[in-house]
Amino acid sequence: MSKLGKFFKGGGSSKSRAAPSPQEALARLRETEEMLGKKQEYLENRIQRELALARKHGTQNKRAALQALKRKKRFEKQLTQIDGTLSTIEFQREALENSHTNTEVLRNMGFAAKAMKAVHENMDVNKIDDLMQEITEQQDIAQEISEAFSQRVGFGDDFDEDELMAELEELEQEELNKKMTNIRLPNVPSSSLPAQPDRRPGMASTARRSRAASSRRTEEDDDFKHLAAWAT
């Protein structure tokens, strides 16, 4: 059996040790990611440093340049291993987060199901039907009461329409008389009207000539009538 297998077997042989909670495992994984991230940054800096050293020596000191390139290759190999480890840890962390989320969802759903079951245990379908029927009946009764209150109650409504119309006409006549009394007539002037102006002299003479001509025509007509009577 390999040493790695013995290590994992030895670590899991103790049944008394309790399994870590998802929160603890996630915290450990995040710490490991942070540690490997720092290691990754360190290796990248070392690779750049060894590369610069190899360029510095170049053809002048080939031995030193080759040693720098060998160290650079080792650091690159470690960096590749860390990249793979970080990918594995990231996948494991995401899977654990999803499992933890699903566990919490399942726990909460089970809790809600138990609460719903406890509520339904105190409910009887027949009682609910009876209650709804009773509520419907009470609503119908309330509606009938509202309609009864809203109906017009005819207390003392038996009146003679003719008498009411006659009384209304009297009231209208009284109102009209009051309005006529309140009307103010215009005041009559106390002074006499102005005298009629005298006719013009020309108009007077023309009127006298017209009366004279009319009298002459009347006399001629009388003479003609006497002559006609004599001839006959």
Whether residue 67 is contained in a domain is answered as: yes
**CA 133, CA 128: separation in Å to the nearest integer?**
9
Dmax (CA) for the chain in angstroms is: 192
Provide the CB-side half-sphere exposure for 193 (13 A, CA): 3
Whose CA is closest to 47, among 84, 65, 66, 73? 73
Which pLDDT does position 7 carry in this prediction?
46
Residue pair 22/99 in contact by the 8 Å Cβ criterion: yes
Domains of the chain: total: 1
Q: What is the CATH number of the domain that holds 71?
A: 1.10.287.1060
Query: Residue 211 corresponds to which tokens in the numbers above?
Result: 């009366």
For the chain, helix, strand, coil in percent to 5 are 80, 0, 20
Query: Is 46 within the bounds of a domain?
Result: yes
Structural domain range at position 26: 21-95
Taking 70 as the threshold, does the pLDDT of residue 156 lie above it? no
Question: What pLDDT does residue 126 have?
Answer: 79
Whether 32 is covered by a domain: the verdict is yes
Return d(Cα 110, Cα 103) in angstroms, integer: 10
Q: Specify if 170 maps to a domain.
A: no
Give residue-wise pLDDT tens across range 98-145. Answer: 988 898 899 899 989 888 888 878 777 777 788 888 899 888 899 888
pLDDT digits (tens, 9 = 90+) for 165-176: 888 788 888 888
The pLDDT score that the predictor gives to residue 144 is 85
